[in-house]
Structure 1
Amino acid sequence: MNVPLSPAESLRAALAGLLDGLPPRQAAGAVERLIANYRGSTPTDAPILRDRADVAAYAAYRMPATFEAVRAALAAFAAAAPGWRPAGHVDVGGGTGAATWAVSATWDGPRPVTVLDWAEPALALGREIAEANPALRDARWQRARIGAALVLDPTDLVTVSYVLGELTGDDRAAVVDAAAAAAQAVVVVEPGTPDGYARVIEARDRLLGAGFRVAAPCPHSAACPIVPGTDWCHFSARVSRSSLHRQVKGGSLPYEDEKFSYVAATRFPVSPAPARVVRRPQIRKGQVLLDLCEADERLSRRTVTKRHGDLYKTARDTDWGDRWPPEASDA
């Protein structure tokens, strides 16, 4: 009997065939050019992804990392909202639809899905590979300017992933406001850099101002306790590396860690984590050091030793980004 593939497995299989017929050197060159373009000036009048070759190369290179980062953010959100599942989803600036795959991996079953993006080649390729995912076969792939004129139809969930960095400040604000006006829940994901974190905090503030509450990663909806300019809040998701990854970046490891920052906020009641592990735990002889963001709006370091019994075993298995303590009942 054939066992159905998971969304992650289906996505990997769909991406594996994207580069057929595209010479490896051309694919690597397209990725390197696109990365340089994304790190340059803010695009205005034309999409960066120009044609199928661009989109295929960049999707094969970036989609797995975006998928894993968004899936990790959604998992933390789902843990804070047990029993809730989105009846509809709009992915703003979704390109080839990595966030839609992450949503289908978090909450199974079909739902109305709309992907909005300015790049028609990205939408076309997203529609093509979505045929491998039953939950996305009826999705709408719609060309739209992502910016000040954006208006969204009412929906349960809006995702805005790896998009805000491509926009001007005014357009960023307009996109977050449009998401807040349309949705019951909004999830924003950005690269785990100081600038990406700053954009997430800006979005978080706007969502709170619109009446939302934070579900994850923060255990509270007060101001972030990190002093601006001293540090930034980010997390990590492990991603299997393809041959294209190894060709572009070099090295031989079969994986890499995608750093990301995010916020998930809702209009409905949620049960945030009692605390969140905000750095990789330090495991030492007989003890584990946990850096936490606490529900009382402060950052702290917790030391868990063998004297704590089962809690020590739990701490050794705890990862960066996890809630703490994992078995704590929802408050």
Structure 2
Amino acid sequence: MAVTIQRSNRVTCAARICLEGISLRTLATIIPGIAPVDNLSEFLETVPHREHPGITSLKTVHLPSQLADAAQAVLEKHPVSQLAERTLQISTYLWSRKRPVEDETLRTKAAELEQKFLEKMAPLSAVHESLDPLQVEEQKENLRRQVLAKLRKTTYHWQPLNYDKELSLVYMAARMNGVYAAVSRAFHEIKKRVPEFQPYSLLDFGSGTGSVTWAAHQAWGESLKEYMCIDSSSVMNKLADLLLRGGSESSPSHINAVYFRQFLPVSPKVKFDVVSSAFSLNDLPSQAERISTVQTLWRKTGSYLVLIESGTREGHQILMEARDVLMGAKVSRESRSGIVFAPCPHDLPCPKFAQKTILPCNFTQAYHPLPYTSKQDLKLEKFSYVILQKGEYKGIERSWPRIIEPVLRRPRHVHCHLCCSDGTLQHAVITAKKHTKDLYRCARSSNWGDRLPVSNLETEKESENVSESDNLPST
């Protein structure tokens, strides 16, 4: 594939813009079917290719030493039998967990099953005329029992998780590291792309063991002065507070001004610079409650709303449901009062849903697990996320396409699967000869989840690649 702008045109255009004192990044344009990329060789200046401005992924994440030591102290004081087996069980359960089935869906499904059973019973309809009313009622009751039995076998049974003291410890050992890794990755992107952003306050909905608080403190500890943790489980709140104190109730907290509540603040005037919900929306019992919660969180957002769920089809669809509620076509520009900051380079519908086989948009983050809960040295957290920003984003690099699959590095060419600013999925095969050495080296240095800083790169429409990797639990 050839670059759509010839070299001579690029040089002439670059020279003219330099004379006018305009940044080379302003050349990025949105062309239907073409990824918006800044492939002029001058844009890097003195920055190494391996550190190009589109890189937002993190290297392997380590849990803060104070938190790791506190978790170990808590487990030593309150040992849990068969901890390794139970952490694997709860991890697998949470990964495979689906959304609650809505009442309307159940009614529709029950009506369809009833109709099927009635069709099977049609030959007996003539016999019904000779039956007495009591026998007719008995057959109707039998039909209801058959419908209910079939519904139980074919319907997912969502149940709320009620955390007691022991289950909260199992959850801590199983998920604290993974949650911290995914949230750190999301916060890192905000910090890198908007280095001047210095939040004062944080609201964490579904705070659990407090991983979000620790990740936020790691990212913006110097500016954050208030951490509001919301979790309906009082047991979880006590455990999170105990971890902040190093595992001892009498010790001072490692992070100051952390407050725990079981309900969201009522006042609509109370806002927080960063609002987050990590792996919590699927704990809500209905779509109506998820939508209401997301709208409340958005109203309380001062700058950024960070939503993270498991990297499964269910997790991705939960996030897209929230994204559509706040940024969808039915929401006016005035009402939405914000944009999609990441990972989408656009506010358009997710192109994943336009494919015949709908696969989740997910990413991975490597992390070191707690040594006393796993024999592995390294694990990968697979997650989906969306970051919404209040107001307008001024940087032109927002339109840079996102790499949504592992980068395939081959001799003298690189395959990148991209989500582009025109709302399409594209496949770019990048070579030094056709796309300049700088862009080729940037692509080779990029990873799944990074953005490709290029413009006017000719690509191919994304093909239907069916993968079952999203059906496997994160390890």
Q: TM-score range by the shorter chain?
A: 0.7 to 0.9
Correspondence 1:97-176 to 2 at 5 A:
97-109=210-222, 110-131=224-245, 136-144=255-263, 153-167=270-284, 168-176=286-294
Q: What one-letter code is carried by the residue in structure 2 that aligns with 1:112?
A: E
* TM-score, structure 2 as length reference: 0.60
Q: Residue 259 in 1 paired to residue 373 in 2?
A: no
Residue 238 of structure 1 is matched in structure 2 by 366
Q: Distance in 2 between matches of 1:153 and 1:301?
A: 44
Q: Distance in 2 between matches of 1:268 and 1:216?
A: 14
Correspondence 1:65-84 to 2 at 5 A:
65-84=178-197
Residues 320, 273 of structure 1: CA spacing in aligned structure 2 closer, same or farther, 3 A cutoff? farther
Is contact 2:203-2:230 (8 Å) kept? yes
Tell me the CA shift for residue 243 of structure 1.
3.9
Residue 281 of structure 1 is matched in structure 2 by 407
* TM-score, structure 1 as length reference: 0.84
Residue 417 of structure 2 is matched in structure 1 by 291
Q: Distance in 2 between matches of 1:173 and 1:108?
A: 31
Tell me the CA shift for residue 326 of structure 1.
8.6
Correspondence 1:24-103 to 2 at 5 A:
25-32=81-88, 34-35=90-91, 38=94, 39=97, 41-44=157-160, 47-51=161-165, 53-103=166-216
Q: Residue 321 in 1 paired to residue 449 in 2?
A: yes
Q: Say which is worse superposed, 199-208 or 11-20, in terms of deviation.
A: 11-20
Residue 217 of structure 1 is matched in structure 2 by 343
State the SS of the aligned residue for 2:197.
coil
Which 5+ residue runs of structure 1 have no aligned equivalent? 1-5, 247-251
Q: Distance in 1 between matches of 2:78 and 2:254?
A: 29
Q: Distance in 2 between matches of 1:313 and 1:134?
A: 46
Q: Distance in 2 between matches of 1:273 and 1:9?
A: 37
Residues 37, 317 of structure 1: CA spacing in aligned structure 2 closer, same or farther, 3 A cutoff? closer
Q: Say which is worse superposed, 19-28 or 94-103, in terms of deviation.
A: 19-28
Tell me the CA shift for residue 119 of structure 1.
0.9
Q: Distance in 2 between matches of 1:95 and 1:152?
A: 25
Tell me the CA shift for residue 13 of structure 1.
2.9
Tell me the CA shift for residue 24 of structure 1.
5.8
Q: Deviations over 1:102-132 (max 9, x none)?
A: 2122222232111010111110111121235
State the SS of the aligned residue for 1:28.
helix
Tell me the CA shift for residue 134 of structure 1.
6.8
Q: Deviations over 1:111-168 (max 9, x none)?
A: 211101011111011112123597733200112389xx99783222210110111112
Structure 1 ranges of 4+ moved more than 6 A: 149-152
Is contact 1:116-1:141 (8 Å) kept? yes
State the SS of the aligned residue for 2:449.
coil
Is contact 2:413-2:432 (8 Å) kept? yes
Is contact 1:216-1:273 (8 Å) kept? no
CA root-mean-square deviation: 2.8
| Larger-gyration structure (1/2) | 2
Which 5+ residue runs of structure 2 have no aligned equivalent? 1-61, 99-156, 247-251, 456-475
Q: Distance in 2 between matches of 1:303 and 1:311?
A: 11
Q: What one-letter code is carried by the residue in structure 1 that aligns with 2:262?
A: R
State the SS of the aligned residue for 2:180.
helix
Q: Distance in 2 between matches of 1:217 and 1:280?
A: 15
Tell me the CA shift for residue 182 of structure 1.
1.1
Residues 74, 29 of structure 1: CA spacing in aligned structure 2 closer, same or farther, 3 A cutoff? same
2:317 to 198, 202, 219: 198
Residue 3 of structure 1 is matched in structure 2 by none
Per residue, is there more strand in 1 or in 2?
A: 1
Q: Deviations over 1:166-185 (max 9, x none)?
A: 11211111110101111122
Q: Distance in 1 between matches of 2:198 and 2:254?
A: 14
Residues 33, 230 of structure 1: CA spacing in aligned structure 2 closer, same or farther, 3 A cutoff? closer
Residues 325, 9 of structure 1: CA spacing in aligned structure 2 closer, same or farther, 3 A cutoff? farther
Residues 36, 323 of structure 1: CA spacing in aligned structure 2 closer, same or farther, 3 A cutoff? closer
State the SS of the aligned residue for 2:229.
strand
Q: Distance in 1 between matches of 2:217 and 2:454?
A: 24
Q: Residue 179 in 1 paired to residue 297 in 2?
A: yes
State the SS of the aligned residue for 1:300.
strand
Q: What one-letter code is carried by the residue in structure 2 that aligns with 1:124?
A: K
Tell me the CA shift for residue 26 of structure 1.
3.5
Q: Distance in 2 between matches of 1:21 and 1:131?
A: 14
Residue 249 of structure 1 is matched in structure 2 by none
Tell me the CA shift for residue 65 of structure 1.
0.4
